[in-house]
Amino acid sequence: MLNNKKILITGIANKFSIANGIAQSMSKNGAELAFAYQNERLLKKIKPIADDLGVKTLIECDVACDKSIEQTFSQLKDEWGTLDGIVHSIGFAPSDQLDGDFTEVTTREGFQIAHDISSYSFTALAKGALPILSDKAALLTLTYLGSIQSLPNYNVMGLAKASLEANTRFLAASLGKKGIRVNAISAGPIKTLAASGVKNFRSMLKEYADRAPLGRAVTIEEVGNVATFLCSDLASGITGEITYVDAGFNTSAMSLIPSKE
Ligand code: NAD
Ligand code: 0WE
């Protein structure tokens, strides 16, 4: 599905990362990959994954830093010349922002960091890559239902994801004339590093599985396969779209637990 496509994957922290599920699926489907990692601490986790998939290009890229983004695409230009896709699988808010009542815990600085790292960085990567993006290139990001519905503790990340989804539509409108598509996957909750610090994540997963039509959570493999499709030419008519990979959770208003009577 992705033969002869060169795709940059961001956001792999370890084997549990959604970006790793995407890398596995894209590699299996013929893509040639490069990995961008946040800092050298993560290199020892990423190297074995890269070696396993035959990925030779590993680039340090902190999306908080313009220079770092610039260097990333200058290196890709030298190694590849052109680029057919980018997977943006990055989200962050300071941990104090994600623990407690929204009105009480949200600060100007926390708000700014969440929006900068979780939404602006998608625009920044698109801008940085534009000179080397091929026509028919595809950009993809990862979002969550907290963008359109509130839930405890997700707080300012919900606002940042709302911004990221609008970002997806405005980038799609801006880059469509060049043939470049921009989409998002809204994934159900998955136990990754970013979810591991979250209070009551296990009970959230349980409630989630109960209400989802499929009666279970989704896996990084399932998200990866939809990512492969959206970045392939099979999805050539899809842009600006948010595709839910959530076992149907967002389509269900209530679960029916068998009563004891
Ligand atoms: P993860 O912790 O494996 O991945 C998050 C990644 O963001 C890490 O690799 C981290 O290095 C990277 N990152 C953070 N700040 C960065 C910076 N300044 N520069 C570069 N990279 C930076 O967790 P994940 O769950 O795989 O998260 C990936 C994406 O999926 C995020 O956007 C997250 O919001 C989204 N998402 C996660 C879930 C879930 O339940 N796990 C559900 C829906 C959407
Ligand atoms: O988008 C996410 C994860 C977002 C996230 C998580 C952390 C934890 C560690 C962003 N920044 C940080 N910063 C840290 O310091 N998800 C969709 C997973 C997630 O996170 C939640 C959730 C769900 C679901 C936080 C609270 C409530 C639900």
pLDDT score recorded for residue 197: 83
Q: Which candidate in 37, 154, 208, 244 is catalytic? A: 154
Q: Which domains does the chain have, with CATH numbers?
A: 6-249 (3.40.50.720)
- Assess whether the C-beta atom of 187 lies below 6 angstroms from ligand 1: yes
- C-alpha distances in Å from residue 105, one per residue of 98, 113, 197: 8, 14, 17
**Residue 114 confidence (pLDDT) above 90:** yes
| pLDDT, mean over the chain | 97
- Assess whether the C-beta atom of 157 lies below 6 angstroms from ligand 2: yes
Confidence of residue 204 (pLDDT cuts 50, 70, 90): very high
Per-residue pLDDT of 126-155, as tens digits, reads 999 999 999 999 999 999 999 999 999 999
Backbone dihedral angles phi then psi of residue 231, each to the nearest 5 degrees: -90, 0
pLDDT score recorded for residue 24: 98
pLDDT score recorded for residue 199: 87
**CA 120 remoteness from chain centre:** 13
Per-residue pLDDT of 218-247, as tens digits, reads 999 999 999 999 999 999 999 999 999 999
Per-residue pLDDT of 173-185, as tens digits, reads 999 999 999 999 9
Torsion of CA 256, 258, 260, 261, to 10 degrees: 80
Residue 144 falls in the annotated catalytic set: yes
Nearest-Å Rg of the Cα atoms of the chain is: 18
d(CA 171, CA 211): 33
pLDDT score recorded for residue 168: 99
- Assess whether the C-beta atom of 9 lies below 6 angstroms from ligand 1: no
Ligand 1 pocket: which of 20, 192, 202 to mutate (most atoms within 8 A of CB)? 192
Tell me the ligand closest to 199's alpha carbon.
2
- Assess whether the C-beta atom of 154 lies below 6 angstroms from ligand 2: yes
Residue 244 falls in the annotated catalytic set: no
Per-residue pLDDT of 69-101, as tens digits, reads 999 999 999 999 999 999 999 999 999 999 999
- Assess whether the C-beta atom of 154 lies below 6 angstroms from ligand 1: no
Ligand 2 atom with minimal separation from the 91 CA = 10
**The whole model's pTM is what?**
0.98
Asked if residue 163 lies in contact with residue 113, where contact means CB atoms within 8 angstroms, the answer is no
